[in-house]
Amino acid sequence: MPLMPSPADDPRTLVSTQWLAQHLRDPDLRILDASWYLPGSARDAKAEYAAAHIPGARFFDIDELSDQRSTLPHMAPPIEKFMSRLRAMGVGDGHQVVVYDGSGLFSAARVWWLFRLMGKMDVAVLDGGLPKWQAEGHETEDLPPVIRDRHMTVQRQNHLVRDVTQVAHAAKLGQAEVIDARGAARFAGEAPEPRPGLRAGHIPGARNVPYDSVLNPGGTMKDPAALRAVFEAAGVDLSKPAITSCGSGVTAAVLALALERIGHRNWSLYDGSWAEWGMYEDLPVETGPAQPRP
């Protein structure tokens, strides 16, 4: 039987493994392995890519392709660096990009957000990632892809990112919903942060939507109706602008992708996230679960 794409396939947000299998040989398709793992996970993303990746995939190094001038982890790179690195990977204008990772749906969303930040819309996350691809028996390879240079133009979309000053202002005035993707224990300040030296807790007034709460078992994203229910159950007012946050701006992008999937277009990502907020003693911190609204 021919492979049938999922009715939820959207080449600007999320595509299924069936969709990718059907389009794998398209000349203008570019696949990126954006695997990245938390410190202490004992997983090596580059080694895993070298051992097995989806045919034609390039490795997107989230830590290297970042703003190396910043002391914060993997901050969004300057436009010029993004363009030059992607061009060297043979990714450019006119390409449909599909990003995946080795966890299912985790760090790939960060690269989806980076492309959006740079004004590139034809980019989607592979739903379920490499684990689902391999579980279904699709092919992998261990050979590096043949690279052909491709021109890339970029137009940064500044409304998709927020800095610490903007987040502090929005949180204080209640102008936006700050949505934290970390687990409940870290959000409440009951579990230590994986990065040393950070305070425990969360941005005052933030809502907690752990990134895995928007996923099904197996690492695929829930359908839009279920996603909306997750946000509403966490007390998120979806009529307000949303600012997503997490530990270092990776899983915050999973929530951004989920918001985009439910049609909530007025969102941005706090790039510094808790790696920044938790470092500064003069910024307020709350502990405990999110407080109910008066």
Active-site residue set = 246
For the chain, the residue count is 294
**Interatomic CA distance for residues 268 and 14, integer angstroms:** 18
DSSP state of 206: -
Q: Which of 213, 203, 209 is nearest to 274 (CA)?
A: 203
User: Which residue, 22, 171, 175, is CA-closest to 98?
Assistant: 22
Among residues 266, 154, 152, 216, the alpha carbon closest in space to that of 14 is found at 216
DSSP 105-170: SSTHHHHHHHHHHTT---EEEETTHHHHHHHTT---B-SPPPP----------GGGEE-HHHHHHH
Contacts for 220 with CB less than 8 Å, ≥ 6 apart: 104, 105, 127, 128, 132
Phi, psi of 99 (to 5 degrees): -110, 135
Instruction: Give the number of C-alpha atoms closer than 13 A to the C-alpha of residue 162, restricted to the C-beta side.
Output: 29
For the CA atoms of 275, 276, 282, 285, what is the dihedral angle to 10 degrees? Answer: -50
| Consecutive H or E run containing 97 | strand 96-100
Structure tokens at 174: 């209640």
